Structure 1
């Protein structure tokens, strides 16, 4: 359920559909995550949501940012200029950056960063050919069983053990091997991630990046990832002097975001009830991408035709049957009602196909102290 402050803010909006971000809630959540991870470096995966105000709020709590393109690198660097992230490299960001992602261009390989995640032997050779200095983590994609994952990072991501062995003799005093990057899966609970970490941290490398992948449940929003158990588990697994880094994205920002819209029509088709809301999955692609029902709260602000306490499928305005937010959810909805979709703070606006049908862009609003 939404908080009173979010409810009141949603009712004040005049430009629905719109995104509403609760920055104090993000501050509190990130602070709690930080406290649960003593001795572990915490980077935020910018791909989850690069919103400027969210990044500014997170900067107080994270050790750095993980970026996966030149565009993300430029965006974060412009927000946090200052001391170089890599000694002797002018123009680097004041907040340490890790640069990852498959298919880096030569221009991206030249970008200043604290750590560069190399995805293949060929990418390492191209990096060496630039003549730059760099501190590198090799992205290892080991053949480990991953049970219960929502998504496994196989195929084009990283390299197998043979690829790592091919890379090892290529390093120089300018391009230095610092350790491994090992993000294997998404949607795992703390015990699942710790089972992987037990194997991944049992290595001779002094630096290991375990990536993200912390579970976020859209079916049970009240069920949160157990950061305290994860932090305690990593502390027990980490050997003395070993540098451990994680890169959560969705699990940091999902809960602070809301998509606020209005019911524009209700109807029944062959006995099934539908509520059509302004906007659609071109604004909030998360439910159709992950195949779930986006949790929502109805604020009774309407006075038009109604659907009363029955299973309702909530859809948007797009000309596609895939424009669905939630299917057959018991609810009462009336034309003019305000609908607040929760858990819209990650992989939402930034991953959506904005220009399909050329509807207006949503507004963006921020709850502050």
Structure 2
């Protein structure tokens, strides 16, 4: 027996276009995020990293639950502000134009996460032109080492943050500029960390590092942003990040933070919204090439780029569809199957070597597609129609 979202995703009338839909369970999203936020210790606040999924119904569902939105572009500033005049906004991202900074100041963003010395000067100049003082956190690319995770933003050469070795220059710069005020540090170092204990160790490292900076540079940290990076194990969905264990340890750890650290900010995206979304596609053909059974679907990485971006086989289930046009052959396979899309590239792969039965006309439903699915995909490559977007709940 299928649930309402799967039914909405997989049902089509006989003469409708082949199934190609995203679906989101807003009630499940609300329940999950409310539970996460409710268990955070005092002083800890959860912001939503909008880059994971910025669909308006998702934002409207989350706005009353989270502390605000973390954004990385002027377009995301506008989307966040559209949810309410008073919703707090944190503006990050490695490149911010003068016009984006100006628009953000007019939108009354709460603070900027600054990624370079030049960016400090840019924000100061634009703030001066507007007659305001901008609050900033310095995003620092720490030396590490860090726990293993799918992606590392720090501890190695990346475009993110200010190299820890030149932090003294950044502190001196922010002190010299009259229209920016340093309120703390931003230390987002990892993405898709799956271990609660490792994430606690990471936050502990942040505590020790910033405490040392306060003494070394004679600065006072009011806000510490520890980033997001809490992950989803797409290879084994039963192996979930142990949030209860994490917040139990975090509750004890926060008591060791200096009292003047008034705010500890998290900015999660994937962990909050991944499970609420699914991507459903109809099997258009089944064929065998050089010993491999391929299932070709209406859709692909131009709609759902996450699997090829992260180089994994994304989990899915097969929903059998009995209806089939009379007179047409119906190819099928008992697997293992490799699921590919409709693009003219061999890289258009959603899953490999999955031991399931599938037929032309069946529908594949990919779970945990609520984060970095539609948002990061190259939508108009080959100009195929976009998938439908279905939102259930209120």
Q: TM-score, normalised by structure 2?
A: 0.87
Instruction: Write out aligned runs for 1:202-213 (5 A).
Output: 202=208, 203=211, 204=214, 205-213=221-229
Residue 173 of structure 1: how far off its partner (Å)? 5.7
Instruction: Write out aligned runs for 1:165-176 (5 A).
Output: 165-169=168-172, 170-171=174-175, 174-176=179-181
Number of the residue aligned with 2:295 = 275
Number of the residue aligned with 2:218 = none
Structure 1 residue ranges without an equivalent (≥5): 83-93
Tell whether the 8 Å contact from 1:139 to 1:158 is kept in structure 2 after alignment: yes
Q: Secondary structure at the match of 1:351?
A: coil
For 1:236, which of 252, 260, 278 is the aligned residue?
A: 252
Cα RMSD after superposing both structures: 1.7
Residue 61 of structure 1: how far off its partner (Å)? 1.3
Tell whether the 8 Å contact from 1:152 to 1:185 is kept in structure 2 after alignment: yes
Q: Secondary structure at the match of 2:250?
A: helix
Number of the residue aligned with 1:28 = 31
Indicate yes or no: 2:383 matched with 1:358.
yes
Instruction: Write out aligned runs for 1:49-60 (5 A).
Output: 49-60=53-64
Give CA-to-partner distance per residue, 1:109-134, whole Å, 9 cap, x none.
22121010011111111211221411
Structure ID, larger Rg: 2
CA distance in 2, matches of 1:247, 1:27: 17
Number of the residue aligned with 2:187 = 182
Indicate yes or no: 2:278 matched with 1:258.
yes
Q: Secondary structure at the match of 1:313?
A: strand
Number of the residue aligned with 2:97 = 105
Tell whether the 8 Å contact from 2:47 to 2:268 is kept in structure 1 after alignment: yes
Residue 309 of structure 1: how far off its partner (Å)? 2.6
CA distance in 1, matches of 2:381, 2:351: 20
Q: Secondary structure at the match of 2:148?
A: coil
CA distance in 2, matches of 1:161, 1:320: 41
Q: TM-score, normalised by structure 1?
A: 0.92
Distance 1:250 1:219, change over 3 A: same
Residue 234 of structure 1: how far off its partner (Å)? 2.2
Number of the residue aligned with 1:146 = 146
Give CA-to-partner distance per residue, 1:30-50, whole Å, 9 cap, x none.
011112213211000000110
Tell whether the 8 Å contact from 1:186 to 1:212 is kept in structure 2 after alignment: yes
Q: Secondary structure at the match of 2:46?
A: strand
- State the aligned residue count: 356
CA distance in 1, matches of 2:268, 2:125: 32
Please identify, of 109-118 and 11-20, the stretch whose mean Cα deviation from structure 2 is larger: 11-20
Tell whether the 8 Å contact from 2:313 to 2:350 is kept in structure 1 after alignment: yes
Residue 279 of structure 1: how far off its partner (Å)? 1.0
Number of the residue aligned with 2:241 = 225
Instruction: Write out aligned runs for 1:1-369 (5 A).
Output: 4-13=3-12, 16-39=19-42, 40-80=44-84, 82=85, 94-110=86-102, 111-112=104-105, 113-130=109-126, 131=128, 132-154=132-154, 155-169=158-172, 170-171=174-175, 174-188=179-193, 189-202=195-208, 203=211, 204=214, 205-238=221-254, 239=257, 240-242=259-261, 243-302=263-322, 303=324, 305-368=330-393
Structure 2 residue ranges without an equivalent (≥5): 215-220
Please identify, of 109-118 and 135-144, the stretch whose mean Cα deviation from structure 2 is larger: 109-118
Tell whether the 8 Å contact from 2:140 to 2:162 is kept in structure 1 after alignment: yes
CA distance in 2, matches of 1:159, 1:237: 26
Residue 241 of structure 1: how far off its partner (Å)? 4.1
Give CA-to-partner distance per residue, 1:347-368, whole Å, 9 cap, x none.
1111101111100011011111
CA distance in 1, matches of 2:134, 2:6: 48
Q: Secondary structure at the match of 1:201?
A: helix
